[in-house]
Amino acid sequence: MLLYSFAHLRVTEAPVANNPFYRHIFPYIKPYLHVVRIMTHVLWDVAAILQSLFYFTDSSKQPCSRNKMEDPWQKAYDFAVAVAKKAGEEIRKAGESEIRVMTKSSTVDLVTKTDEKVEKIIIGSLKQEFGEGTHCFIGEESVANGEPCILTDEPTWIIDPVDGTTNFVHGFPFVAVCIAFAINKQLEFGVVYSCLEDKMYKARKGKGAFCNNEPIQVSDVKDIHKSIIISEHGIDRSPEKVTKILSTMQRILCIPVHGLRGSGTAATNMCLVATGAVEAFFEIGIHCWDIAAGAVIVQEAGGILLDVDGGPFDLMSGRMVSANNDVIAKRIIKEIEIFPSARDDAPIEEK
């Protein structure tokens, strides 16, 4: 302020001719006043530049920080919805012609050209939008082709292009495109497009869950006897595992619950928990791409996620209970017969 006022002092002729200051001293300093004036202007400008620099780099201040803090991933979220829609259209179109089926880890682990093509479309679109090398990707088919499956702190897209490939091959009407996004290993948003039903589920951390833009909410049932529970049979048909899976199902049925169901896709199952159509879905032997998007949707719809032993949910562990509340989750967990399953981030030789 002081600098500013001084800089704007007008250097004028002495207004009072008989003032001793103006008569004896002013004539000597007058030539230098112009220099002082220019210097103060320069100093003022430098001060202003420095002040704005500190102001704009302080993260608690506006407006530069406003852009950064505002909603950094909203654009990515909206883009993921658009890409999921495009992918779903591709799957619907592919379902109209003959589907060539191949197998992966076993004769019941199916894959089609559509799985691969749709994953390429999704990852290609994301790279084009956000730039090559800026984000990481964990995609079901890329991992099947040898890409690493490690979740780091980097911005990471977790993709299942066709969740429910067996359904797709058979024309069973639950097939979902799953796109999730994590940063610092925390899921930020998830999109599940159940493309044969044309239902777009989406959720962003702290911003609610939606189906076709309508808010969704888990059920408020706490009485296990009034619940419907979902589980799946998985693709591991070793008799020991199948025995444990069926034994768990029997125990849950005999609680008794209203019913046991399974849509054939983990993503759709989780969305059914999120809408309140069922109370819980659990499975051992799933993958991060099956459940990452659904995990955000369930939580944002008011539900919870746990490990099958009641511990904290771990996206890469290959096991999960998703439920409307912890009463239902813990009651289910009592009945689950746990069997070993490989982590997604385990070294290849351990899988």
Ligand X SMILES: O=P(O)(O)OC[C@@]1(O)O[C@H](CO)[C@@H](O)[C@@H]1O
Annotated binding site for Mg(2+): which residue ranges?
Answer: 140, 160, 163, 290
- Should residue 290 be labelled a site residue for ligand X when binding is judged by CB under 6 A? yes
Q: What is the DSSP letter of 157?
A: E
- Element containing residue 126 per DSSP (H, E): helix 113-130
DSSP 172-221: -S--EEEEEEEETTEEEEEEEEETTTTEEEEEETTS-EEETTEE------
Stretches 5-13, 28-36, 229-237, 299-307: which one binds ligand X (CB under 6 A)?
229-237
DSSP strand pairing (280-284 vs 259-261): unpaired
Considering only 116, 141, 232, 344, the residue that binds ligand X (CB under 6 A) is: 232
User: For ligand X, how many residues bind (rule: CB under 6 A)?
Assistant: 16
Token pair 């299942």 is at which residue? 160
- Residue 125: both structure tokens together: 């679109």
- Should residue 140 be labelled a site residue for Mg ion when binding is judged by CB under 5 A? yes
Number of Cβ within a 10 Å radius of residue 22: 15
Considering only 266, 305, 308, 332, the residue that binds ligand X (CB under 6 A) is: 266
Q: Is 289 exposed, middle or buried (0-12, 13-18, 19+ CB in 10 A)?
A: buried
Residue pair 115/161 in contact (Cβ under 8 Å)? The answer is: yes
Q: 160 or 300, CB closer to Mg ion?
A: 160
- Residue 207: both structure tokens together: 């911003």
Token pair 């076993």 is at which residue? 106
- Should residue 164 be labelled a site residue for ligand X when binding is judged by CB under 6 A? yes
- Should residue 283 be labelled a site residue for ligand X when binding is judged by CB under 6 A? yes
The distance of closest approach from Cβ of residue 208 to Mg ion in the complex, given in angstroms and rounded to an integer, is 26
One symbol per residue from 123 to 142: x for binding ligand X (CB under 6 A), - otherwise; what is it?
-----------------x--
The distance of closest approach from Cβ of residue 165 to ligand X in the complex, given in angstroms and rounded to an integer, is 4
Q: 285 or 303, CB closer to ligand X?
A: 285
CA distance 329 to 303: 10
- Should residue 165 be labelled a site residue for ligand X when binding is judged by CB under 6 A? yes
One symbol per residue from 160 to 179: x for binding Mg ion (CB under 5 A), - otherwise; what is it?
x-xx----------------
Stretches 27-35, 160-168, 252-260, 335-343: which one binds ligand X (CB under 6 A)?
160-168
Stretches 81-89, 151-159, 226-234, 293-301: which one binds ligand X (CB under 6 A)?
226-234
- Residue 66: both structure tokens together: 């406003």
Q: 44 or 201, CB closer to Mg ion?
A: 201
CA distance 67 to 155: 19
The distance of closest approach from Cβ of residue 245 to ligand X in the complex, given in angstroms and rounded to an integer, is 9
235, 219, 238: which is closest to 227 by C-alpha? 219
Contacts with Mg ion, residue ranges (CB under 5 A): 140, 160, 162-163
Contacts with ligand X, residue ranges (CB under 6 A): 140, 160, 162-165, 232-235, 264-266, 283, 286, 290
